[in-house]
Amino acid sequence: MSHHGWADEGYGPVADEFARNFTERGELGAAVTVFVGGRKVADLWGGTADDRTGRAWEEDTVLPVMSCAKAVITVCALLLVEQGRLDLDAPVAAYWPEFAQHGKERITTRHVLAHTAGIPLVEKRLSFAEVTSWTPVIRALEEQRPLWEAGDAYEYHAHVYGFLVGEVIRRLTGLTPGAYFRKAVADDLGLRTWIGLPEEEVAGMARLVEAEGRPALPDADSLPMRALTMNGVLPFPGLDDPRGYNAPALLTAELPGAGAVSSARSLATLYAAVATGVDGAARLLSEDTVADAVRPLSGGPSWSGLPDFGARHGSGFLLDSPFRRLLGPRSFANSGAGGQFAFGDDEFGVGFAYTANMMGGSGDQRAVRLIGAVRECVGAGTAQ
């Protein structure tokens, strides 16, 4: 397998692990980009973008990055915090009065960012057309009762995360979250990252495929699966379905919890912009804002009875934990269901993103090994 790109001296281990992902770990097409101190130190890509045509992965190839979308929403919310327009600990209803129905008066934006808000799924059964046209989802959330008292329990708010925080963003800015992100962040940084993919980008996208031996998904009627699929209307991963995660119908809509499309380079740039600023520009969010976002708030067994998988959440980010070693207590991350992973760390000055179109099987080590290589290169404790 010939891969392309480069790694600075001192970052060879990242290139070595990227190559091993192809030779030893079943990689199809992928990219990884690493920034340190605001400049790129590794930028690698290779393999096949589309398994049906054999089209090669290019340096700026974009693909569905699933829940890495949550970083986009989180950064937008934190930017509004920095501007003094959003208080994460104020009730959501302070910005969106219609939300204050049926016991949701006390839910704050921070509860949503920590997956403790008590509304992990949209209970109402909506059609695909309704799910992808924004307002019906918002109305359904207004009418819904919480499953638990905000802050008392944890359950991953798969799509609700994006709609709820996204509607707060819309109430404050007049723009849907995908549009606000482009205006406030992405256009300035030249990012190829979208919530709501432009039609002209569809043809060049990489196509997701499932690895052999992917772990079986929970029962379709279980709460986590209903949350993930919006009650079965968004097939997961549904890769060949006209409404699944390869489908333009899904990706050109705004599904801000899990519907982002990005290149690795752009996701890494976003995280580096938060951690350090890139290419001499000021950082996007202050040290204090990041300190607040990396305070551990949730994790452990879920309200619906899922075991503790080891994930720990701050306000909008996955944190360093023994189960998912990052660089340290200042690391902030988001993962995608296909194995995609991105994180930043302002203590070590790192912005990192790995994207791949082969949705990993059980025990997927691809991102873990790349992160281990970065840890070794920047001297963040011992790599494992």
The tens digit of pLDDT for each residue in 115-157 reads 999 999 999 999 999 999 999 999 999 999 999 999 999 999 9
- Contacts of 203 by beta carbon, 8 Å cutoff, 6+ apart: none
Among the listed ranges 33-37, 240-244, 354-358, 366-370, which one has the minimum average pLDDT value?
A: 240-244
Residue 384 lies in a domain: no
- Which residue has tokens 């400049």? 39
Residue 220 lies in a domain: yes
Query: How much is the pLDDT for 219?
Result: 85
Residue 383 lies in a domain: no
The enclosing domain of 291 has a CATH number of: 3.40.710.10
Distance CA 197, CA 204 (A): 11
Q: Which of these, 122, 360, 115, 68, lies nearest to 232 by C-alpha position?
A: 122
- Output the CA–CA distances (angstroms, integers) from residue 97 to 100, 168, 248, 344, in the order listed: 6, 10, 33, 34
Distance CA 274, CA 7 (A): 22
- Determine contact, residues 316/112, Cβ cutoff 8 Å: no
Query: How much is the pLDDT for 2?
Result: 63
In this model, does residue 362 exceed pLDDT 90?
Answer: no
Structural domain of 186: 3-378
- Determine contact, residues 12/3, Cβ cutoff 8 Å: no
Query: What is the number of domains present in the chain?
Result: 1
Distance CA 183, CA 81 (A): 17
- Contacts of 345 by beta carbon, 8 Å cutoff, 6+ apart: 275, 326, 327, 328, 330, 331, 332, 380
- Which residue has tokens 């790192």? 350
Q: Stretch 252-280: mean pLDDT, rounded?
A: 97
Which pair of structure tokens corresponds to residue 331?
Answer: 């690391």
In tens, the pLDDT along 269-316 reads 999 999 999 999 999 999 999 999 999 999 999 999 999 989 999 999
Distance CA 52, CA 329 (A): 42
Mean pLDDT, the chain, integer: 95
- Output the CA–CA distances (angstroms, integers) from residue 6 to 18, 20, 347, 353, in the order listed: 11, 15, 24, 15
Phi-psi region of 122 (alpha: psi -120 to 50; beta: other; left: phi over 0): beta
In this model, does residue 384 exceed pLDDT 60?
Answer: no
- Which residue has tokens 């982002």? 260
Distance CA 376, CA 384 (A): 9
Which pair of structure tokens corresponds to residue 8?
Answer: 């600075």
Give the β-pairing of 193-195 and 260-262. antiparallel
Phi-psi region of 316 (alpha: psi -120 to 50; beta: other; left: phi over 0): left
Instruction: Write the DSSP symbol of residue 116.
Output: -
Which pair of structure tokens corresponds to residue 117?
Answer: 């808000």
Question: How would DSSP label each residue in 272-292?
Answer: HHHHT-STTPPPSS-HHHHHH
Residue 266 lies in a domain: yes
Query: How much is the pLDDT for 1?
Result: 53
**What SS3 state is found at 265?**
helix
In this model, does residue 58 exceed pLDDT 80?
Answer: yes
